[in-house]
Structure 1
Amino acid sequence: MTDHVLAAAPALPSHELLVFLLQVAVLLLGAFALGRLAQRLGLPAIVGELLTGVVIGPSVLGHALPDLSAWFLPSTGEQQHLLDATCQIGVLLLVGVTGTHLDAAMLRRRGGSALTISICGLAIPLVLGLAAGTLMPAGLIGDGTPRWVFALFLGTAMSVSAIPVIAKTLSDMRLLHRDIGQLVLAAGTVDDAIGWFLLSVVSAAATVGVTAARVTAGVAYLIGFIALAVLIGRPLVRRALSLAARSPEAGPSTAVAVVLILLGGALTQALGMEPVFGAFIAGILVGLPGAGDQRKLAPLRTVVMSVLAPLFIASAGLRMDLSELRRPSIALAALAVLAIAVIGKFAGAYLGARLTGLRSWEALALGAGMNARGVVEVVVATTGLRLGVLTTATYTVVVLVAVVTSLMAPPLLRLAMNHVEQNERETVRHAMHDAWSAAGSEPGDPARNVSST
């Protein structure tokens, strides 16, 4: 019966396959070239990668050469689904690899401070985003989406941080050995975990609605999934990766890690939550100490950060239409959303840092680091567009927040850290950091092999 069903399925038309292959090749080439150019200019690579999609998409090519754009980016659902499915795998592996960079020991040491900073850094922009969502023009809300769902989504988008961008920024600026750098990573890790859960809640609200029974079931599923991951998933993951690590080759470890991350995403998808949450938790389990030889995951990180992540980010740029910003109402909304994102995150992180006893410049440095949204914001925006919560205009606004906040982080961090003296513990860590870097590997470094996306 199965053979009959598979045989009856029509083969992929040669033209659709040709267009798909050209899409992937052109997007990757552009993302690589413009990403490297951005880095040479001192900007995060995500800026150039997103610009690739902007140039090839409706913002530039769609206006300059509409016939070529229509051929290269046809509006047929089947053609779009090919690229979307490929990018969805890239997103899950990107989020999973991000989870492997969690430093559990650091999180335990600084858990209290990190939790306080993270809660404040989440709560204030979340509330401001909710308020803004209730006041936004109706034209910015996806068709058929209740305003409260849109407001909840906007609040979630305003509250997230991005560990990949934060880690790469701290590494480039040689701040990973500083107490502030480690605290930014710890708080950002908590932010990431809560952010993926909030995204799952919003996704459920946008698709199946929210009732008391569904909320209760959702919380039960969340608690159950985390308990399952800790009690059963952790030893199983450790065993699977340990067996794979017996091979002298990196292939088995890489394959097992990919399977685990995708299964984590599939499980949360089956439970009605966003698959990125499951992929993130699976990535954390894969990266825990004792879970196989982490060095053998280097090929996975290379492929994800050098191929799949740039492809996803470039494809995200395809959905941006900067011409929307010519409309005064959209431009004003963009300025308002950006102000809410920046002020909310800075105010929240600053308040949390001061409550934990940090000085003003240290608190400002924390705000600068956690303000970077990067690829996490792009994932959130893409999810909102896919679910119909966001329009193209709103999607463009949210992705712009990711770009601008990622650009703001390095100079503001440099300014704040110039006023924070290095203590003795940090001096010792600095020497160890240099020794590890000279050896080409830094044990426990959350930024190891992390791309600037």
Structure 2
Amino acid sequence: VIAGIVLGPSVMGRIPGFKDAIFPTASLPFINLIATIGLVFFLFQVGLEVDLRVVRRDWRKSIAISFAGMALPFGLGIAVSVGLYKLQDDPSVPFSSFLLFLGVAMSITAFPVLARILAELKLLRTKVGAITMASGLINDCTAWVLLALVVALLNSSGGIEALWVFLTAVGYSLFLIFCVRPLYRMLCVKTGSFQNGPSPFLMTVTLLIVLVSAFVTDIIGVHAIFGGFLAGVIVPHEGDLAIKITEKIEDIINIVFLPLYFTLSGLKTQIGLLDTGVVWGYVILVIFLACFGKIVGCTAAAKLCGMTTRESFTIGFLMNCKGLVELIVLNIGHDAGVLNDQVFVIMVVMALVTTFMTTPVVLWLYPDERFTNSKASSVIPTMVYEDTGNEHYCLVTMLNRVDAVPSMIALLRLLTNPVQDEKAKYQMNPKIDIHVLRLLELTQRASDVMKIRDLRETERQDTILSVLRAFGSLIGVDDLHTRLDFCPLTGYIKAVSDYSVRSGADMIVLPWPPTRQIPLIEGTQTQSQMETFGVTADRQKYPMADVEYASSAFSISHTALGLFIDRGFGDYQDTRSLFEAFQIVVPFVGGPDDRAAVLFALRLQSVYPVNVTVVRLETEP
């Protein structure tokens, strides 16, 4: 959006000849056509995110918050429309249409952007996140219905014609839901798309439905984007079908089509029109009323529904997020002639301010879910390792790569499935609690947010965790816990650390790909130990990402941590040949890390009769 404004007349457009060279007038209709097609598919993607199952939990609170979050901003939008209509000074635009459009624009909540913010702040699966998502979903759907009514009024010459257009749009919506949706579901069953993902034939039919639906709604007299939205709503969510369809189309939409659309939007945005004190006064007034209406309305409703003050304000500020949906609505109004260039710029500034303020304010208001774990880990004492003998032992590991699964399964089998052997001096059957954490990268894709919303189904269908659960049941592991979560790549180590705190881990084992060498981090015990062997670090050999990963991993201080380097450990199929084929050597210099390594080796020996050799290394005086 900002790039579009920079490319427009506000910045780069001031360069003589820039617009004629980069965006010649003859090319704009073709760019607009491609951008409109992209917008139709973006609204189809938004429709795919609409899952009515979100509303079932706390539906009374959600409906109350959504209603309050629309009624008050709608009323304030109608109030401010009086002054903005005089500022626009265009009698050709009916005041009734202008009034309704401003009311809808002020009451919008951007559901896709809201879901993304909740996912990044780790609030999506909390009570606040669930209620906000349900309220945002109801708000968004209601706003699209009202916007369809406004567009019908704009495209008609009288009240009866507008009513006919609106009722025809409603009838087409019902036709899609009650006639097309069952047939589409039958096609999904016949092609096996619920089990195996959307087939090529199903994707062909789906894209045809989107284009035909957009064509029909455009003929009816409402905008083509409503057809794309309705086509997304009728797609069933069983078997994560909506998520799998989103994964197939989202990249080209978000990388090619949407930037093109918002570039065109930026070309219409002339910041230079904010050139008087009166206009800036309206900018401040519109921003204040938009924030006041959403925040006060949603906060008051949440408080009356029994939520705490902090939770209520958090919901209020989250619902105040306008995002891309608001800009789409404003562009529809501008293209229809309801808003002139000056009022359009005022509303765009309001949309940007309300979107940018959401994340920092929510972080300040509701930091609990994000920072509680880090605060808890900061008060944990320095590493102290003690041999627990036959007592409970908790191990946490992270599995993100398929090639690390065989070696980790072999290691877990060693720890949990003791072999009775007459050569062993003693046998133990310790109770081991194993936690396997599967972290997936949280990217800019909408499908990631959809997976987080339905995390239980996502975890159930995850291949790696399914293999581990089957393995655990086969060897009789009772205490095997699996968890799937999403976070940025830079937050993987922190997520593992926080999870180990919550689970009370005695040790963390992180698999290290066999193709990598271990980078020696300056100033760590690992570096001093390796230098004792005569090995020096050559930092030029290691990619910076590997160095940062190892450095972050060894910064965990509340429990023991080890990097598990696979050198064919998972290739053994027979357990007896496995423990007969290797022995354990522990280089020992001293310090808590080495003591933890010795205790881990002794624990392996207590389960399997293998030789453990501790090599005591002493530095020369």
Match of 2:315 in 1: 366
2:65 pairs, out of 114, 117, 135, with 117
Q: 1:445 to 1:244 in 2, by over 3 A?
A: farther
Distance 1:216 1:91 in 2: 26
Any residues of structure 2 matched to 1:117-266 within 5 Å, and which?
117-136=65-84, 138-140=86-88, 144-211=92-159, 213-214=160-161, 216-242=163-189, 251-266=200-215
Distance 1:236 1:363 in 2: 42
Q: 1:241 to 1:66 in 2, by over 3 A?
A: farther
**The structure with more radius of gyration:** 2
SS in structure 2 opposite 1:144?
coil
CA offsets, 1:189-232, max 9 Å, x none?
Answer: 11111111111111122221441x34543453354233223211
2:8 matches 1:57: yes
Higher-helix-fraction structure: 1
Match of 1:428 in 2: none
Distance 2:333 2:79 in 1: 18
Amino acid across the alignment from 1:67: G
Match of 2:17 in 1: 67
Does the 8 Å contact 1:196/1:274 carry over to 2? no
Q: 1:204 to 1:220 in 2, by over 3 A?
A: closer
For structure 2, list consecutive stretches of 5 or more residues without a partner in the other structure: 373-435, 443-447, 456-621
Match of 1:427 in 2: none
Q: TM-score, normalised by structure 2?
A: 0.57
SS in structure 2 opposite 1:400?
helix
Distance 1:442 1:148 in 2: 38
Match of 2:473 in 1: none
For structure 1, list consecutive stretches of 5 or more residues without a partner in the other structure: 1-49, 424-433, 449-453
2:324 matches 1:375: yes
2:262 pairs, out of 313, 336, 357, with 313
Number of positions where the alignment pairs a residue of Structure 1 with one of Structure 2: 387
Give how far 1:233 is off.
2.4
Does the 8 Å contact 2:269/2:345 carry over to 1? yes
Q: TM-score, normalised by structure 1?
A: 0.77
Give how far 1:369 is off.
1.0
CA offsets, 1:117-176, max 9 Å, x none?
Answer: 111111111111011111225342556102221121111110011112111111111111
Give how far 1:300 is off.
0.5
Distance 1:154 1:93 in 2: 25
Match of 2:299 in 1: 350
CA offsets, 1:20-72, max 9 Å, x none?
Answer: xxxxxxxxxxxxxxxxxxxxxxxxxxxxxx12111211111221x13222332
Distance 1:447 1:301 in 2: 18
Q: 1:360 to 1:62 in 2, by over 3 A?
A: same
Q: 1:120 to 1:109 in 2, by over 3 A?
A: same
SS in structure 2 opposite 1:145?
coil
Give how far 1:438 is off.
3.7
SS in structure 2 opposite 1:70?
helix
Distance 1:447 1:397 in 2: 38
Match of 2:361 in 1: 412
2:36 matches 1:88: yes
Does the 8 Å contact 1:244/1:292 carry over to 2? no
Higher mean alpha-carbon deviation, 350-359 vs 241-250, is at: 241-250
Match of 1:108 in 2: 56
2:283 matches 1:283: no
SS in structure 2 opposite 1:286?
coil
Amino acid across the alignment from 1:265: A
Does the 8 Å contact 1:245/1:252 carry over to 2? no
Match of 2:251 in 1: 302
Q: 1:51 to 1:292 in 2, by over 3 A?
A: closer
Give how far 1:314 is off.
2.4
Does the 8 Å contact 2:154/2:336 carry over to 1? yes
CA offsets, 1:379-414, max 9 Å, x none?
Answer: 111101110111111111212222111111111211
Identity %: 25
Higher-strand-fraction structure: 2
Distance 1:296 1:223 in 2: 26
2:278 pairs, out of 324, 329, 336, with 329
CA offsets, 1:69-128, max 9 Å, x none?
Answer: 23323345xx32111111111111111101111232222233322221111111111111
Distance 2:259 2:91 in 1: 30
